[in-house]
Amino acid sequence: MSDDISDERMRSGRGIARRPNESAESLVRESSHLTKWLYDRYGDGLRTVLVYDGAVSEYTYLADHVGEQYSDAELERIADEHAFQDSLSNPHYESLFHLGGTEATVTLFEGATLVQVPFDNTTGVVLTVDRARSLDVNALVETAREEHRPEFVSEA
């Protein structure tokens, strides 16, 4: 694969998305800059990119080998924004540790690292990267928010 992500790989050929109704806009186009930046940064180590805006969540990138591991139903379940809601805002932890608000979450699995970066209370990105790739989470969060915010997200 070349260093630049092709438009064909920008979105799963299976078009997995969770939209409350058929008229909901796709998030792919407005997230293309973010998705291309993530692919340029992590290359073939990038497994998935899922963006969400309120009730709409959509894969903007799904590596072929990842798409082969999951059924459409499994991918749709993952895309459901409720799967990420509780992991990001946990007032108990925020009050327990006195460290401020949660800015991102990171979960390490045997085969991949999952990072959720919110842009505000209802929008954000969830990505997975092969564990073999090194992640600088602070730089990832800061750069994604400041330089690669999708067009559907209001400026902070």
- For the segment 68-93, what is each residue's pLDDT rounded down to a tens digit? 999 988 988 888 755 565 556 667 77
Q: Does residue 112 contact residue 92 with C-beta atoms inside 8 Å?
A: no
Residues in the chain: 156
Q: SS3 helix, strand, coil % of the chain, rounded to 5?
A: 40, 25, 40
Contacts of 65 (CB under 8 A, 6+ apart): none
Q: Is the pLDDT of residue 99 over 60?
A: yes
Q: Which one is predicted more confidently, 15 or 94?
A: 94
Report pLDDT digits (tens) over 1-27: 334 444 444 444 445 544 444 555 677
Which residue pairs, CB below 8 angstroms and at least 24 apart, start in 146-149?
A: 147/37, 148/33, 148/34, 148/37, 148/38, 149/34, 149/119
Domain boundaries, the chain: 7-147
Q: What superfamily in CATH does domain 7-147 come from?
A: Dynein light chain 2a, cytoplasmic (3.30.450.30)
Torsion of CA 77, 81, 83, 84, to 10 degrees: 150
What is the number of other CB atoms lying within 10 angstroms of the CB of residue 60? 27
Which tokens go with 103? 């800015």
